[in-house]
Amino acid sequence: METKKDSTEEKILEAAKNVFVAKGMEGARMQEIADEAGINKALLHYYFRTKERLFEAIFSGIIKLAFPKIMTIVQSEASIVSKIEQIVDAYIDLLIKHPFIPGFVLKELNRDPSGLFKLVVKFGLNPQSVFDQIEQAMDRGEIRRMKPQHLLSNIVSMCVFPFAARPILSFILFKDDPSALEAFYNERATVIKEFVINAIVIKK
Amino acid sequence: METKKDSTEEKILEAAKNVFVAKGMEGARMQEIADEAGINKALLHYYFRTKERLFEAIFSGIIKLAFPKIMTIVQSEASIVSKIEQIVDAYIDLLIKHPFIPGFVLKELNRDPSGLFKLVVKFGLNPQSVFDQIEQAMDRGEIRRMKPQHLLSNIVSMCVFPFAARPILSFILFKDDPSALEAFYNERATVIKEFVINAIVIKK
DNA sequence: ATATGATTTAACCACTTAGTTAAACCAAAC
DNA sequence: GTTTGGTTTAACTAAGTGGTTAAATCATAT
């Protein structure tokens, strides 16, 4: 009996994820996906008629991983500082589990940004409400004044970029000790939270 | 008379840069490069025998833009805070002039990290000396204590990521006002410097 | 046993790609 | 005016690519 995990469809999705992540939509070959899944090309097309459809399935699956958790934090009742801490924790936690996401998403959104449009609509994302929350906290004197776009960019950059640039970090910062890279990623949440709080919280 | 700028070779390099940056090594087509350069495919191969060689010329040219300036700042005699400010200024200045670099470099280094190895050797890059400088400043109590790798990651992330994720910023943060994106990039250096200094400088 | 659906095999198509080649063309230098 | 080197044209190759097809196989449920 086959569990859902090793059904052919699951094997294909897993293989396709690996190949698409490693090679991108353009670089991925259907033959390679079939090989990685341990099946043949005919059966691969039998399940997912075209490369486009298969890619779409993978891509939307990856995106769905990231959005919902962030949204619930944003819409909660916590203080702005607490929300920032929660978002950093959630981001780093997700990225440690799925470190390939940033590189993959960046590559594909640069190739075809139209996918982003659909997603923003689909998830009903509204950045203005986030900007408002941040500006209200500044009005109350909780955090230093700066454009919300800059604050968000700073936080997301520090969370995401070290994963997008993993090969570079691995080589420049940790070329002698690869296991130190894992330790580094595990420290990120704590470091970023402290860094941001020192940067923006006004001490009384 | 032809200046060096509109010689055929220069036209090819310019066209190839545009196409490689937009489509990546895999996605770029020799025919498209030839069209963009206003010549034909035969002549393109006449100048650069293979796609590989042409790509190599473009890639190393782009990298050479970034490294040297950073190196001279690192090796100067300024204080650590001053060096950080100079590096942020230099990075943002470069990226405003060549905003495509981060996306391109990330994509190609994820595809084939071996190029990085050659570059590090070629430029004689030694991160340990940077780590030492940072740790000595911490010993002197100038800045808060943290692992140098984290500090460097934070700074570089905030400089580079918003350019790598340009389509995302453009859509999420500035979808109603595209010209605001340019203004945003022009503010980055000031914002990042202030942010970092607030985060790490110990006030007496 | 038979019917069904998953899977394999292997050939095939239409198309695109990088790269090559041979011939002609053209402008400027000699 | 002939040579030369950059340039075009147009055809070609060799090797992939995504995708299709038809037939055979295999396991399982009925």
B98-118 pLDDT, tens digit each: 999 999 999 888 888 887 777
Alpha-carbon distance A166 to nearest alpha carbon in chain B (angstroms): 8
User: Under a CB-based contact definition with an 8 Å cutoff, are residues A93 and A189 in contact?
Assistant: yes
Tens digit of each residue's pLDDT, chain A (204 residues):
333 446 888 999 999 999 999 888 988 999 999 999 999 999 999 999 999 999 999 988 888 888 888 889 999 999 999 999 999 999 999 999 999 999 999 988 888 888 777 777 877 778 899 999 999 999 999 999 999 999 999 999 999 999 999 999 998 888 888 899 999 999 999 999 999 999 999 876
Nearest to B123 by CA among B178, B67, B176, B70: B67
pLDDT at B156 over 60: yes
Residues in chain B: 204
- Give the domains, in start order, of chain A with CATH numbers: 1-49 (1.10.10.60), 63-200 (1.10.357.10)
- Chain B contact for A165 (CB, 8 A cutoff): yes
What's the Å distance between residue A12 CA and nucleotide C19 C1'?
35
Distance CA A157, CA A151 (A): 10
ipTM given for this complex: 0.87
Q: Average the pLDDT over each of A36-40, B21-25, B73-77, B108-112 and give the range with the smallest value.
A: B108-112
User: A–B: how many Cβ contacts below 8 A?
Assistant: 144
A31 CA → C7 C1’, Å: 16
Closest approach of chain B CAs to the CA of A65, in angstroms?
Answer: 17
Question: A76: how many CB neighbours lie within 10 A of its CB?
Answer: 11
Q: What is the pLDDT of residues B41-65, one digit of tens each?
A: 999 999 999 999 999 999 888 888 8
- CA atoms in the 13 A half-sphere facing the CB of A148: 18
Q: Which residues of B touch A106 (CB under 8 A)?
A: 103, 106-107, 164-165
At residue A6, the pLDDT reads 64
Measured CA B41 to C1' C27 distance, in angstroms? 21
Can you tell me which residue has the tokens 């025998």?
B49
**What span, in angstroms and rounded, lies between the C-alpha atoms of A140 and A69?**
27
Write out chain B residues lying below 8 Å of A149, CB-based: 169, 173-174, 184
pLDDT at A204: 61
Residues A19, A58 contacting (CB under 8 angstroms): no
Nucleotide nearest to A27 (CA to C1'): D17
Better-scored residue on pLDDT, B119 or A130: A130
Residue B33: which nucleotide is closest by CA–C1'? C18
pLDDT for res B24: 87
Q: A4 vs chain B: nearest CA distance in angstroms? A: 32
Contacts of B187 in chain A (CB under 8 A): 147, 150
